[in-house]
Amino acid sequence: MEDVVLRPAPIPRRAVPASLFAAVGLLLLLAPRFLDRGSLNDIWNVAFGVILACSWNILGGFAGQVSIGYSAFIGIGAYTTVLLALKGVDPYLTLPLAAVLGALFSFLIGLPAFRLRGPYFTIVTIGVSEAVRVFASGVSFTGGSSGLRMPAGSFDFGVNYASMVVLALAVVALSAVLSRGAFGTALSAIRQDIDAAEALGIDSSRFKLAAHAISAALVALAGSLYAINFQYVAPGSVFDFRLSLSIVLMPIIGGVGTLAGPVLGAVIFSYLQIKLLTIPALRDSYLFLYGGLLILVMLFEPKGLVGLWNRLIAAVRRRSGGTDGP
């Protein structure tokens, strides 16, 4: 009689990523118990990058609308928190208002800008971002080009760290939910062929505005937490055009329009930035290095690291399939 072998029940395909996601989230939240402050700062920066990359990917990846003006939403969130905190409001109570203002500003941009397509839309977003930076530098209530400082006693790194990690996990989860639902399907149709999507009854303007508002609100929340963490904001930091370029670069490196791509790109980009900024000779040349990295990605693997991984897996399967014949 043959031996009976007990085998565990197969785990559903979606359960493994969900379990891994929960384990990573729990590990990050417990990290302050066993990591030093420097390491926690690095994780904070990576989480910040994940929020920005995944939020941008909702519009730029899922819907194919490339915006290079997302630093405007960071600045709106940051200044909302600082201005209200200076009036005596608890900084964390300003987060909902920052998200709402970011979404409202996205409508002001999107209503006229989404009438344009392709590079014309991208150029408009650059202009809007620069206009907001110039405006913030020239008015008094923002502190002008000198910026503003948060009130004393408004900083608790433990709370800010947990808030940034939770927001990063929430943004990744929301991206997964949106991509697998009807909303994500509509955005995908718009990205592939907007005319065909409209012919099928999809209101492209409404879906693009909704995607823009969601991503802008999330980026504004990250901007608020940025202001609380650094205790200081200025137009040259939160409205910086280089920051907008970095937001776009992260999903491109990892893989635009995918779930894992923006996360992977944000981790690599943030880690490289942290390490390069510690080298005095490379502090002013890191954008040159990132530009070179972008060129390499676009030349050799336009689908990013996720596309490279998928291509390697396909090659391995073809090779194993060719050698497993009878």
Q: What is the mean pLDDT of residues 225-233?
A: 93
Per residue in 84-140, pLDDT tens? 999 999 999 999 999 999 999 999 999 999 988 878 898 999 999 899 999 999 888
Could you tell me the residue ranges of all domains in the chain? Answer: 18-267
CA-based R_g, the chain, Å: 22
pLDDT at 3: 42
* pLDDT reading at 324 higher than 90: no
**Residue 233 near residue 148, CB atoms below 8 Å:** yes
The reported pTM is 0.89
pLDDT at 247: 92
Question: Cα-Cα-Cα-Cα dihedral of 246, 251, 254, 255, to 10°?
Answer: -150
pLDDT at 156: 87
Question: Which CATH entry fits the domain spanning 18-267: 1.10.3470, 1.10.530, 1.10.890, 3.40.1000?
Answer: 1.10.3470
The percent of residues above 90 in pLDDT, for the chain, comes to: 49
Per residue in 233-286, pLDDT tens? 999 889 988 888 889 989 998 889 889 899 999 998 888 887 777 776 666 666
**Residue 71 near residue 241, CB atoms below 8 Å:** yes
DSSP string, 85-108: HHTT--GGGGHHHHHHHHHHHHHH
Distances (CA, A) of 29 to 59, 136, 172, 224, 267: 28, 35, 16, 20, 17
pLDDT at 223: 96
| Highest mean predicted confidence (pLDDT) among 10-19, 101-110, 300-309 | 101-110
Amino acid occupying residue 118? G
pLDDT at 227: 94
